[in-house]
Chains A and B, each alone.
Chain A
C-alpha cells in the first residue's frame, strides 16, 4: 500500500493566479497520476506524472494550463495556471503500486480549490 499526502488541503484563489499542489508518497512508486473531481461528479484523469520526463496529458488537458513535475519516485506537483472559476474543483493525486495486472491505485486526500 501507499500513504499519500497533499498540500494544501484547500485554498481560495483569485482569478488569473496560479496554485501549485504538492503530492508526497511514503514509498517509491512507479506511476503517479493527477485527477480532477467536480463536486458530486466522478474523477477525470488529467495526466500521468512521469519521473524524469514530461507528463502525459489526457484529451482536454494541456501542459501550459496544468504543468506537472515529478523530480523523483515519491513526489509530484501539479500547477493550475491562470485560474478561472471553472477550475474550482477537487484535485487528487494517486500512486500506483502492485504487480502486473494487479496494480492498485491509492489516492491522496485531495486539494479543494475555489477560484473567485
Chain B
C-alpha cells in the first residue's frame, strides 16, 4: 500500500501547548500536504511542502520534510480548542499521475 502512517494516532494536550504530529511514507514524492478534518466535516487543506523544501510556515503551523527519512512533521504552536480535529498527511507520489495517498491520521484533542 502506498498509504502513509502517522503517529501518534491520538494526541491530547492542554490549550496553549504545542502539538506535533509525524507522517512517514514509503515512496518518492512530488510534494506532501497536510489536511484537517473536523468531526463529521470535510477536509480542509492546511499546507503544502514540495519535495525540495525542508521547512514551511503558515501562521501557527510549521511543517518539516525529510525526504531521506521519508517523513514529515506538523507542529501546531499555541494550540486552541478549535484546533481539535483529525489531521492527515497526503503524499503526491511521483509517476502516479498526480494521485494523492493519505496517511492514517492523528486525532488531536485540545483541552480548554
- Give A contacts to B, CB under 8 Å: 31, 33, 35, 41-45, 48, 56, 58, 92, 96, 101-110
Contact = CB atoms under 8 A, between A and B. Distances in A.
Q: DSSP majority for the B interface?
A: strand
B103 A42 contact: yes
Contact of B42 (A31, A42, A45, A109): A109
The 10 closest A-B pairs by CB, nearest first: A43-B102, A107-B43, A109-B42, A42-B102, A42-B105, A42-B104, A101-B30, A107-B42, A101-B50, A31-B98
Interface in B85-110: 88, 90, 92, 97-105
B31 interface: yes
Interface of B: 3, 30-31, 33, 35, 41-43, 45, 48, 50-51, 88, 90, 92, 97-105
A41 B37 CA distance: 11
A56 B98 CA distance: 12
Nearest to B47: A104
A60 B97 CA distance: 18
A42 B50 contact: no
B28 to A, nearest CB: 12
A104 B99 contact: no
A73 to B, nearest CB: 15
Which of the listed residues B31, B35, B42, B90 has the most CB atoms from chain A within 10 Å of its own CB? Answer: B42
Contact of B48 (A42, A104, A109): A104
A43 B41 CA distance: 13
A107 B36 CA distance: 11
